[in-house]
Structure 1
Amino acid sequence: MNATSDLSILSLIAQASLVVKLVMALLAVTSLVSWYWIFRKGIAIRAGRLSTLEFEREFWSGGDLGTLYRSAANSREAIGPLGRIFEAGYREFTKLRGQNNLDASDIIAGARRAMRATSQRELDDLEAHTAFLASAGSVSPYVGLFGTVWGIMHAFRGLGDVGSATLAQVAPGIAEALVATAIGLFAAIPAVVAYNRFAYDIDRLNVRFDSFMEEFSNILQRQLR
């Protein structure tokens, strides 16, 4: 086998020790799962952002709140997270307003609690599995480094009986060990970038949810006067 084929990526992986192969396999699986959730969460967060913008335009267009509520109640999956927050708040508002023994402040507080609970559920759904991306991004380089250290130790143990080691003898063992670090970085970098982007997008949606709940609460309060 010539030097070029000996140092090809596939050849280095095939020649690696069992422990290093297990490390590479673990990192490869981690990378595949990370990419799966990167695409899934990217699509879900983008859909949530677009549906939020669309509902805001519809809400502030000046239409009747009752009509908007009925439309939201009949299509809860399609209206997006902000529409479901509105639907929960208005439903609680109409239910409490029908009780004669409640003050206006109690009605508004109840509607706010309903919106807050729905908002938290929506944010939890958006944040689901992003912790895996954070863990993959922080741990994968160290797992790859472990594989590299183990591979280098294995390579030098194999050279222990050799009187004088040449570069041609040392290079393949070192190179196959370094592949583990490369795979670890390949798994970590996309996960870190995606996690930071998703965290920013979810935080911006949270700000929009909070702003909407404040403004909607003021509208409901004016309706009770």
Structure 2
Amino acid sequence: METEVLGAAQQMDFSLLALFARASITVKLVVLILIMSSFWSWAITIRKVISYRAARAEADQFDRAFWSGEPLDELYDQIGPTPDGASQKIFAAGMTEWRRSHRQDGNLIAGAQSRIERSMDVAITKEIDKLNNGLSFLATVGSTTPFIGLFGTVWGIKVAFEEIAISQNTSLAVVAPGISEALVATALGLLAAIPAVIFYNKLSTDADKLGGGYEAFADEFSTILSRQLDA
């Protein structure tokens, strides 16, 4: 009897697809959730890496144009009131409010400095929100998928023990296939969580650096306008 059980175990397919096919409905649902979460987190990561790289390039290009010595009014006329780049939008917000604060006689309306700073702060907030968009999903995947996988494993082991009790056979050849199917869920949970945590930390740091650069530029621009106001 034991020889027959061992022979059947040796002939059993232990590939991932076979383990998934033999798993219970609950474990299959858990595995599908983990696969979709991992796929979506990788999609967000790739999109963020590309967008952050483009944002850094745009910021460097605009920074060179801003400090090139070209008059700010001419630079504003070139990019327009609704540019595409984040740094350009912050600059355009300040310049738009600067021009709106001038009366027809050329004098400035009172409180122009504070209005310009608020306009740039609003633009910075919008750009930082865009940078952080999607990062919360990576954090959620990194913190929850190990527990989702663990739930699938616990449920799979429960089903395996129930099948063992029904067959009344406790040999390792009978126990191992069910345990293997259950452990796949934990492995997939870790496979989804580890990259999500790593890239969340990396992208969060990059977003903070970009946001800090936007705020530093706004402070410098505000200082330049303040000198003109005082003059």
Paired with 2:102 and 2:50, the residues of 1 have a C-alpha distance of 38
Residue of 186, 193, 198 corresponding to 1:193: 198
Task: Determine if contact 2:81/2:96 at 8 Å carries over to the other structure.
Answer: no
Read off the aligned partner of 1:30 and give its amino acid letter. S
Task: Report the aligned-residue RMSD.
Answer: 1.7
Q: Give the whole-Å Cα distance in 1 for the aligned partners of 2:11 and 2:137.
A: 38
**Which sections of structure 2, spanning at least 5 residues, go unmatched?**
1-7
Contact 2:81–2:92 (CA<8 Å) still a contact in 1? no
Could you tell me how far apart the structure 1 residues matched to 2:138 and 2:10 are? 38
CA distance in 1, matches of 2:159, 2:23: 9
Percent identity of paired positions between Structure 1 and Structure 2: 43
Where does residue 144 of structure 1 map in the other structure?
Answer: 149
Corresponding position: 1:180 with 2:185: yes
Q: Could you give the per-residue CA deviations for residues 3-35 of structure 1, whole angstroms, max 9, x where no partner exists?
A: 365222111111111110010011111111111
Unaligned runs of 5+ in 1: none
> The residue matched to 1:159 in structure 2 has which SS?
helix
Q: 2:73 aligns with which of 66, 71, 75?
A: 66
User: How much does 1:210 deviate?
Assistant: 1.2
Q: What is the letter of the counterpart of residue 204 of structure 2?
A: A
Listed one character per residue, the Cα deviations across residues 40-90 of structure 1 (whole Å, up to 9, x for unaligned) are 12211211121111111111121110111112217712xx11111001101
Report the counterpart of residue 51 of structure 1 in structure 2: 58
Which of residues 28, 33, 36 in structure 1 aligns to 2:43?
36
Residue identity in the other structure for 2:216: S
Q: Is residue 171 of structure 2 the alignment partner of residue 166 of structure 1?
A: yes
Aligned residues of 1:30 and 1:136 also touching (Cα < 8 A): yes
Larger-gyration structure (1/2): 2
CA distance in structure 2 between the partners assigned to 1:6 and 1:153 by the alignment: 21
Q: Distance in 2 between matches of 1:65 and 1:197?
A: 35
Query: Match of 1:108?
Result: 113
1:119 aligns with 2:121: no
Contact 1:19–1:150, Cα closer than 8 Å, also in 2: yes
Q: CA deviation at 1:133?
A: 1.0
Match of 2:211 in 1: 206
Alpha carbons 1:45, 1:201 under 8 Å: kept: yes
Conserved 8 A contact 1:6-1:172: no
Contact 2:138 2:200 in 1 (8 A): yes
Count of residue pairs brought into register by the alignment:
221
Tell whether the 8 Å contact from 2:81 to 2:93 is kept in structure 1 after alignment: no
Distance in structure 2 (CA, Å) of the matches to 1:189 and 1:212: 35
> Which shifted more, 188-197 or 13-22?
188-197
Partner Cα distance (2:210, 2:97) in 1? 23
Q: For the residues of structure 1 that align with 2:91 and 2:168, how far apart are their CA atoms?
A: 78
Q: Deviations over 1:171-191 (max 9, x none)?
A: 111111000011111111221
Partner of 2:101: 96
- TM-score, normalising length: structure 2: 0.90
Find the counterpart in structure 1 of residue 33 from structure 2. 26
